[in-house]
Amino acid sequence: MSWLEDELHEQPAALARLIERQRENARRVAELLAAEDVRYVLIASRGSSSNAARYAQYLLGRAHRVPVMFATPSLYTIYEQPPRLDGAAVVGISQSGASPDVASVLAEARRQGRPTVALTNEPDSPLAREADAVLLLEAGPERAVAATKTYSNSLGAIAMIFAAVDGPEAESELERMPDVLAEQIALSLDSAPPLDEYAGLVGATVVGRGVNYGTAFEIALKIRELSGLVVEAYSPADLMHGPIAAIQPGWPVVLVAPSGPARPSVEDVVLPLQGRGARLLAVSDVGAVLRRAHTRLPLVPHVPEWLSPLTAVVPGQVTAMRLARLRGLDVDRPAGLNKVTLTR
């Protein structure tokens, strides 16, 4: 078994470990973000961590009712003209904690006297050293280049911060997620449809919205980094504002559409895409959505929507791994990529 598949299977245990060990740190972070002088949250991240940050935009925005936005690291590094951060709480998300540009955003925030938070798997990393509060991901060593358990635990850490604000019901729902995640992994592996017809594809599109907007980007990234294909992610609204013109007959489109308020808007693009001859792959627990798809990637039902990114990403991880193998590629060592990417 590859490192990637091993680590995919390790996700439920890693999530359970995070929830058990980091509860108090999550509450501390939630209190820091709720401080009276915090008027917005600024997140610095790269790669898969940026996809987790998209999830944070929704959950932290809902929990604290403040804008949540992305930093522009080049202003801090290349241009050396960082913005004023009055009113900001600054969060860095980095699995390795080693990316200089992410750490530089937190370092500047500290110089300006603003509170800083690190979500990282490495307690002694440069990012952790710049943080007033550290929420460790507790994922353990991850050897495969493509992140799986560190990504799911990044989502889990964000969910813990939300639950610390939302209260006991949310905490109880989160406590059940390691078992649900194990069920999803088994379902996605056991029910995986044949993908041979996609072996020769050159690219694909992924569509998601709401809390699963980041899931769409993470699935696109996993397929792209493991198979070298050109895969892009959009919200339904962004897709309809021009990019749909590039969808040609036979083009694969992955719809991330679990139950919840965002699902109808994702389903609204089905007819326009079918009219253009797209091959639809549906990630959903809704029978009506799955029946309209060319390829079905089912989800475990009855997952609260705010936690559905933890399960919705799994069919994408499995699909990305299987597509790479169909193309004869090494899933543990994608060409030209390293586990830790140092960007400035």
Residues with catalytic function: 339
List Cβ neighbours of 298 (8 Å cut-off, separation of 6 or more): 187, 191, 284, 285, 290, 315
Tokens of 241: 């504002």
The burial class, CB within 10 Å (0-12 / 13-18 / 19+), for 261 is exposed
d(CA 291, CA 259): 15
DSSP 285: S
Nearest 10 degrees: CA dihedral of 279, 283, 287, 291?
10
Q: Are strands 252-256 and 230-234 parallel, antiparallel or unpaired?
A: unpaired
What is the CA 128 to chain-centroid distance, rounded?
A: 21
- The residue ranges of DSSP E strands in 132-278, in sequence order, are 133-136, 203-207, 230-234, 252-256
d(CA 88, CA 194): 48
d(CA 318, CA 325): 11
d(CA 152, CA 163): 16
Cα angle 294, 278, 303 (rounded to 5 degrees) comes to: 50
List Cβ neighbours of 316 (8 Å cut-off, separation of 6 or more): 206, 215, 218, 219, 222, 223, 254, 256, 283, 297
